Amino acid sequence: MKRWRFLLVMALLGGADFAFGAAGDVAIYEILSDPAGVNDTSLEYVVVKNFGASQINLSGWHLYPDGIGYFAFPDFVLNAGASVEIHLRASGADDDANLYFPAASGNMGNSSGSLALFSSTTHSKDTIVSYVRYHNPGSSEKKTWETTAASAGIWTAGAFIDISGGYEGKVLKLNDFNQRASIIGWTISDPAPDSTPPAEESDATDASVSETQTSGSVAPRPVAQIKAYAGEDRSAIAGATIFFDGFAEGLAGEPLDGARFSWNFGDGSPILDGEKIGHVFLYPGVYTVSLNVSSGEYSAMDTVNIAVMASPLTISEIKTGPDGWIEIKNNSSRKIEISRFGLSCGDKVFTFSENTFVAPYAALVLGTTTLGFLLPAYGGEVKFIYPNGSIMSSLNYPVLALAKEESLNFENNAWIVARATPGAKNEIAKKTAPIASAAKPADALKSPLSQTASVINIENPGGTRAFWGRDYFWLFAGLGVGVVAALIFFLGKRYWA
């Protein structure tokens, strides 16, 4: 009976594992990105195929033809061995073999482009399941998500299908699923007869029907559009400059020269113009940056998400009293801007002026004259504040009388007393100090911070100077002198008596 139950559980687990594994059996199978003729609109398509032995629901999957937006699959089951054709910038009724993406922002590139298929609405190396890139050498490259695909092992970085030999009216087709990560698995061929897109309507259509009229659910024919590309989703550090490099493609897929590039960074800062531009996000969070490209009567937009991490700046050393100071350390390899950031103690606040930066791995020291306040020797709380008033970090320092040459250093989540070295590395610890509470992020500052009663033991790193300063030396030295004196007395009494 137990054996039967075990086999049943294993079968269920195996079936579940198989169902999840089927995502890796789905791939981009065929692409028509440059239909024959002048106007490509509503004639382009992408075919996705299930190469596995079980069906899979594509609900929530994303297909990304480079630069024209993400197509979100509806609640759609793709059977084993079956394929579905996604028609770009075309309208129609979805069925078992056809899906429509009328909201695409433009046409696919004729001279360069890439496509990525994700098994989720989040886009990463863990969710990308298929990728392909084509390119005509000499034209501007479009390779969104290539680095991610290479990291996932489904594409070779830098590789592309060369379309310089003639590509108009042809399709890219995956002939070998096992070679899908390489250009070896792909060929350029004529579209199959049943895949040939319908011809455009003749100009001889009944003139009694207005161009603006529609019949039933048939949408008006989309007009040709240019394309905008804002780049891939990525991360940044609060206070560090992140650079954006926009790209635009004309009606025929050619690089668009002379266009206007306008960037909205999604953080309330002014909109800026420029094809290549830098920006500083001052606070952590996820920002949606939009690029609007305009050229004459045409315009296009693309967006990119930027995940901004907390600032790497920390309060590393302080000196209390009238001659005191606060040292700030940049623990990153990036130059960090701290314009309008603040430091406070009690009700006193110092604000950094515009265009203030801290160099990589550098320390910035501010004395009491600059700060406009001093740190009291009876203990207190020092806060590092973002420009919007939220607290970046907060430190309680202990009640401790410091000698003129001493300072408090915050290391390994605790305060230590050491030789004062403002702006330089702290090397020689001198004595113990009570541990103060650690630096706290803003979301942890809802309750008052308190000190603990623990004590850290700080010893000199080593060397003879440290040894001679210990009480143990004098203990053993005294014992040694006593032993030698007793030996001399014993020998003298025996031999000289």
Would you list the domain boundaries of the chain? 20-195, 227-309, 313-465
Q: Which residue has the tokens 């693309």?
A: 302
Q: Show the tokens assigned to 400.
A: 């401790």
Query: 146, 133 in Cβ contact below 8 A?
Result: yes
- 62 φψ region: left (φ > 0), alpha (ψ -120 to 50), beta (else): beta
Q: Rounded to an integer, what distance in angstroms lies between the CA atom of residue 118 and that of residue 233?
A: 14
3-state secondary structure of 156: coil
Beta strand 77-78 pairing with 56-57? antiparallel
CATH superfamily of 227-309: Immunoglobulins (2.60.40.10)
Q: Rounded to an integer, what distance in angstroms lies between the CA atom of residue 196 and that of residue 99?
A: 15
What was the pLDDT predicted at 131? 95
Question: Which distant-in-sequence residues (6+ apart) come within 8 Å of 229 by Cβ?
Answer: 66, 67, 142, 144, 246, 247, 248, 249, 291, 302
What was the pLDDT predicted at 325? 92
Q: Rounded to an integer, what distance in angstroms lies between the CA atom of residue 194 and that of residue 172?
A: 16
Q: Rounded to an integer, what distance in angstroms lies between the CA atom of residue 231 and that of residue 112?
A: 15
Q: Rounded to an integer, what distance in angstroms lies between the CA atom of residue 27 and that of residue 23?
A: 9
What backbone torsions phi and psi does residue 176 show, to the nearest 5 degrees? -135, 105
Q: Which amino acid is at 409?
A: N
Q: Which residue has the tokens 């001399």?
A: 488
Query: 360, 405 in Cβ contact below 8 A?
Result: no
Q: Which amino acid is at 392?
A: M
Question: Which distant-in-sequence residues (6+ apart) come within 8 Å of 36 by Cβ?
Answer: 168, 169
Query: 416, 433 in Cβ contact below 8 A?
Result: yes
CATH of segment(s) 20-195 = 2.60.40.1260
| β-sheet bridge partners, residue 304 | 289
Query: 363, 329 in Cβ contact below 8 A?
Result: yes
Model's pTM, two decimal places?
0.43
What backbone torsions phi and psi does residue 131 show, to the nearest 5 degrees? -155, 145
Q: Rounded to an integer, what distance in angstroms lies between the CA atom of residue 221 and that of residue 35?
A: 16
- What are the average pLDDT values for consecutive 10-residue runs of the chain, which has 497 residues? 46 42 82 86 93 91 90 93 94 93 89 92 89 90 87 90 87 90 89 55 38 40 73 89 91 84 93 93 92 90 92 90 91 89 93 92 92 90 89 87 86 85 72 47 33 29 38 62 75 64
Same topology, domains 20-195 and 227-309? Answer is yes
CA 193 → CA 69, 85, 190, distances in Å? 28, 14, 9
Radius of gyration of the chain (CA): 35
What was the pLDDT predicted at 182? 87
Q: Show the tokens assigned to 160.
A: 């592309």
Q: Show the tokens assigned to 72.
A: 């979100």
| Order of strands across the sheet that contains 380-385 | 348-351, 342-345, 380-385, 391-397
Q: Strand ranges (DSSP E) for 296-400?
A: 298-309, 313-319, 325-330, 336-337, 342-345, 348-351, 357-358, 363-367, 380-385, 391-397
CA 215 → CA 105, 207, 295, distances in Å? 23, 14, 33
Q: At CA 424, angle to CA 413 and CA 237, rounded to 5?
A: 60
Q: What is the 3-state secondary structure (H, E, C) of 209-237?
A: CCCCCCCCCCCCCCCCCCEEECCCCEEEE
3-state secondary structure of 71: strand
